[in-house]
């Protein structure tokens, strides 16, 4: 889920949400060892010098999993985790996003517009390349008739354009004739590094519609198709139908010199990401949704519930001053594309008050409220219990930064949490395995 920020200070902690929920108690499916090494693994990026401990970990990972490892990069103060993708023989850097389903690459010659809809230069949208060139691909087919990809984001940013088919490869994993969104219009503010998004959530979340007019896009004419990983499973390109993610953290000091940091974790297809872990592990079910549309629905255990996101139960959050608070939630999304944890408002208020010195809640001109935490503040312990198993968040992931209050937000465990676990997603079995990482 790509949350687009309108403030310049990096958010590391919480985005509190006034979200209502009805808690449904699930038991953990199992508590067991992590899945086997991956068939295909790509490293993440983001561009600052790595600490010695990070370098040592990287040597261990590559030595043990050399044939199947692709790393992730980080950018924009670790609010983005990136990997390289090849579409029709053309290379791009994309955000890895378990909170959305669409894979898109901006198309060459796209029109960039400002907030009023007026055309501006392409550089204003700040993508990391000129975009996908249909004429340069020998395998592209399309565009698909009477179909529109229509993507909108919370800060008023949008992209839309046609749908096509092409071969997509990530590391050693390649899918032929994969449907992909190729926006030709954009209101966007990128970082000059990425050119699109790799969506890894369920087909029901695809934003493709049976229309050519953006205003006519609706749930009634939505055209779901298989995202990249679902296609890979159907084409039997992976022996084991799951993927896992391990996000590493950079440092604020490093990012202040260069916002791009290579080798910030791993995306693994067909197995577990190759980082050291401890024995704390649990597998829990993914929740479906039921309602008149995918965005007007509630979590449900019904057999006919529709799966959209990697939504799970959180048993509790534990921290100083958490006693007496209802901290459980059954609609929390695991999302690599969101840099912060979005938790119930009462939880965020109590937790940020436990900082030394406490955070300050400040209104902003755009109607949001933000928690401002002193860069030298001492962060209290923060534990997350899922499936009766408790995971810790390293204090390094809990400051400095700002926290925004958005009454319309869903609840999310984002990069702040995911940097502390290996998250293994099995959309076919509709379950997620979380394994605590060794401190690094």
Considering the domain architecture, whether residues 251 and 338 belong to the same structural domain is answered as no
Pairing of β 421-426 and β 243-247: antiparallel
User: Residue 295's pLDDT is what?
Assistant: 60
- Same domain membership, residue 201 and residue 134: yes
CB atoms inside a 10 Å sphere around CB 123: 10
Question: 400 falls in which pLDDT band (50, 70, 90)?
Answer: low
Residue span of the structural domain in which 422 resides: 277-437
Is 228 found in the same domain as 125?
yes
- Tokens encoding 247: 């996000």
Domain annotation covers residue 349: yes
Catalytic residues: 97, 335
pLDDT at 53: 27
* 392 lies in the same domain as 302: yes
Q: Are residues 103 and 243 in the same domain?
A: yes
pLDDT for residue 78 is more than 50: no
Looking at residue 67, what is its pLDDT? 27
Instruction: Indicate whether 184 pLDDT > 80.
Output: yes
Q: How far is CA 19 from CA 205, 229, 305, 330, in A?
A: 21, 30, 21, 11
| Whether residue 325 is found in the same domain as residue 390 | yes
Q: How far apart are CA 261 and CA 80, in angstroms?
A: 10
Is residue 16 situated within a structural domain? Answer: no
Digit-coded pLDDT (tens) for 276-335? 999 999 999 999 998 876 667 787 878 889 999 999 999 999 999 898 888 887 789 999
Q: Do 103 and 196 reside in the same domain of the chain?
A: yes
| 109 part of a folded domain | yes
What's residue 372's pLDDT?
80
**Taking a C-beta distance cutoff of 8 angstroms, is the pair 86, 169 a contact?**
yes
**CA distance linking residue 317 with residue 325, whole number of Å:** 9
Residue 345 has pLDDT above 90, yes or no: no
Q: For the domain that residue 46 is a member of, what is the CATH number?
A: 2.40.70.10
What does the pLDDT average to over 395-415? 70
Asked if the structure places residue 149 within a domain, the reply is: yes
Q: Is residue 30 part of a domain?
A: no
Q: Does pLDDT of 256 surpass 80? A: no
Best CA proximity match to 328, nearest among 348, 343, 341, 349 = 343
Residue 153: band (very low, low, confident or very high) from pLDDT cuts 50, 70, 90: confident
| pLDDT higher than 50, residue 402 | no
State what percent of residues in the chain have pLDDT above 70.
76
Q: Which of 269, 293, 308 is the last residue of a domain?
A: 269
Q: Is 115 exposed, middle or buried (0-12, 13-18, 19+ CB in 10 A)?
A: exposed
Q: What is the pLDDT of residues 422-436, one digit of tens each?
A: 999 999 999 999 999
Residue 1 is assigned to a structural domain of this protein: no
Task: Say if residue 69 is in the same domain as residue 95.
Answer: yes
Same domain, 140 and 248: yes
- Quote the pLDDT of residue 44: 76
Split into its structural domains, the chain has a count of 2
Report which of residues 388 and 155 the model is more confident about.
388
Is the separation of the CB atoms in 88 and 136 below 8 Å?
yes
Choose the final residue of a domain: 269, 298, 322. 269
State the pTM of this model: 0.85
* Token pair for 405: 């209050």
CA distances from 186 to 127, 133, 147, 180, 211 (A): 10, 16, 17, 16, 18
Q: Are residues 264 and 327 in the same domain?
A: no
Give the H or E element holding residue 176: strand 173-181
pLDDT digits 0-9 by tens, 361-370: 887 665 666 7
User: If DSSP codes are grouped into helix, strand and coil, which group holds residue 402?
Assistant: strand
- The answer to whether position 29 is within a domain reads no
232, 250, 269 - which closes a domain: 269
Same domain, 260 and 281: no
Nearest to 426 by CA among 240, 174, 189: 240
- In a domain, residue 9? The reply is no
Domain co-membership, 337 together with 432? yes
Q: Are 60 and 300 within 8 A, CB to CB?
A: no
Helix (H, G, I), strand (E, B) or coil at 234: helix
pLDDT (tens digit, 9 = 90+) per residue, 88-140? 999 999 999 999 999 999 999 999 999 899 999 999 999 999 999 999 999 99
How far are the Cα atoms of 95, 163, 176, 198, 312 from residue 168, in angstroms, in the given order? 15, 14, 6, 11, 30
- For residue 342, is pLDDT > 60? yes
């Amino acid at each position: 889920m790509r949350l687009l920020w309108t403030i310049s200070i990096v958010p590391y902690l919480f985005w509190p949400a006034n979200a209502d929920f009805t808690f449904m108690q699930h038991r953990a499916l199992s508590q067991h060892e992590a899945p086997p090494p991956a068939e295909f693994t790509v490293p993440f990026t983001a561009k600052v010098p790595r600490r010695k401990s990070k370098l040592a970990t990287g040597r261990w990972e590559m030595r043990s999993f050399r044939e199947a490892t692709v790393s992730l990069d980080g950018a924009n103060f670790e609010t983005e985790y990136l990997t390289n993708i090849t579409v029709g023989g053309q290379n791009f850097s994309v955000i890895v996003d378990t909170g959305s389903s669409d894979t898109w690459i901006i198309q060459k010659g796209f029109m960039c517009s400002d907030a009023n809809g007026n055309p501006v230069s392409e550089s204003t949208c700040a993508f990391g390349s000129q975009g996908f060139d249909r004429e340069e691909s020998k395998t592209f087919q399309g565009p698909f008739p009477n179909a529109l990809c229509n993507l909108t984001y919370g800060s008023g940013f949008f992209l839309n354009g046609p749908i096509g088919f092409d071969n997509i490869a990530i590391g050693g994993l390649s899918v032929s004739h994969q449907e992909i969104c190729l926006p030709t219009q954009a209101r966007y503010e990128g970082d000059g590094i990425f050119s699109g998004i790799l969506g890894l959530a369920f087909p029901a979340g695809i934003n493709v519609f049976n229309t050519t007019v953006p205003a006519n896009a609706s749930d009634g004419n939505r055209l779901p198709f298989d995202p990249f990983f679902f296609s890979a499973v159907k084409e039997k390109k992976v022996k084991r139908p799951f993927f896992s993610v391990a996000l590493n953290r950079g440092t604020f000091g490093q990012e202040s010199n260069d916002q791009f940091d290579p080798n910030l974790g791993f995306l693994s297809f067909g197995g577990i990401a190759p980082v050291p872990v401890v024995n704390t592990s649990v597998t829990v079910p993914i929740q479906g949704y039921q309602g008149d549309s995918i965005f007007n629905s509630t979590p449900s255990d019904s057999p006919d519930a529709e799966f959209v996101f990697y939504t799970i139960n959180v048993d509790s959050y534990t921290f100083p001053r958490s006693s007496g608070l209802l901290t459980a939630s059954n609609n929390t999304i695991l999302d690599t594309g969101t840099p912060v944890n979005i938790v119930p408002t009462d939880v965020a208020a109590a937790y940020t008050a436990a900082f030394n010195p406490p955070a300050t809640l400040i209104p902003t001109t755009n109607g949001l409220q933000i928690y401002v935490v002193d860069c030298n503040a001492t962060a209290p312990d923060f534990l997350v219990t899922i499936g009766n198993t408790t995971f810790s968040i390293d204090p390094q992931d809990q400051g400095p930064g700002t926290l925004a209050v958005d009454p319309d937000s869903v609840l999310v465990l984002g990069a702040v949490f995911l940097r502390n676990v290996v998250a293994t997603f099995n959309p076919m079995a509709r379950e997620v395995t979380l394994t605590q990482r060794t401190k690094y």
